[in-house]
Amino acid sequence: MPSHMSSIGFPVETEDDFLRFQTLAADNGRPLAASAGTYVRWRTGEGAELWVQVTPDNNIVGLNPHFDGESTLTVHVASRIRYPNEDGLDGAFYGWLVETAGDDLDADREVVFDAPDFALQESLDLPATLRVQLAAFAEELHVFADEATFAAAQPPGLELAPESLIPVPSSDGEDSTAGPPEPRAFLAGRVLQTELRINPATDEPFRWARLRTQGGEVDLVADPAVVPGELNAGAIVVGTCWLSGRIEAPA
């Protein structure tokens, strides 16, 4: 079954599968100390990595996948989103694409991304305009061979730009008081480079693509089962993605 884990070559069908990878990551990764506890970062190669969350009393409370790519975009990071059930180790950042950072907040430019190293960024003074390495884990994907094919498929009156990043609303629906959107986006992007990669820890394949989208470039990763047909440079991809990001430096 396709999942965020299988998007980087960690096939998970059962809870036992998940726990096995969690244990492997904890045993083989590099510990990174934070005031809230410890992260263990397991980098298996080809960009795939798992981040284990460990409390000060040595209990494992979480595991997040991430893809370490070279693509970045600039985000005006406005605030933190803390997940209270994960002992301060799990969280996200909220902001909007820098192209509108000087204007009034535009809901179409909002972005939220989960951060596998959330507690390591606790000293970061926000708001700030920052470079973010953003990985988009495809949940649903459509591929168009080129921009002309993409344009021809657009419903009249609902045309989508071939380079777009639109936040997915929170699960509370239309309630404007529900808070920021989820760390997911409806993304359209132009494929600059792509290849089928193999996770060295599992010998499982996953699809990677470097995309140019609104605001900059992102790394798209996907379980091959999610990718319909051929994916080549120059194609336009459209889909719903979970976003995982690491803040790199001031812009």
- Among 183, 181, 86, smallest CA distance to 132 is for 183
State if pTM tops 0.85.
yes
Query: Do 105 and 10 share a structural domain?
Result: no
Establish if 1 belongs to a structural domain.
Answer: no
Cα 76–Cα 54–Cα 33 angle in degrees, nearest 5: 65
Query: Do 126 and 201 share a structural domain?
Result: yes
Query: Do 144 and 41 share a structural domain?
Result: no
Query: Do 80 and 26 share a structural domain?
Result: no
List pLDDT tens digits, range 70-129: 899 999 999 999 987 667 899 999 999 987 445 555 555 889 999 999 999 999 999 999
CA distance 213 to 202: 30
CA distance 225 to 87: 35
Query: Do 165 and 42 share a structural domain?
Result: no
Residue 155 exposure: Cα atoms within 13 Å on the Cβ side: 2
Establish if 122 belongs to a structural domain.
Answer: yes
Query: Do 59 and 105 share a structural domain?
Result: no
Query: Do 51 and 25 share a structural domain?
Result: yes
Which residue segment(s) compose the domain that 106 sits in?
73-250
Q: How many domains does the chain have?
A: 2
Query: Do 220 and 140 share a structural domain?
Result: yes
pLDDT of residue 220 exceeding 50, the answer is yes
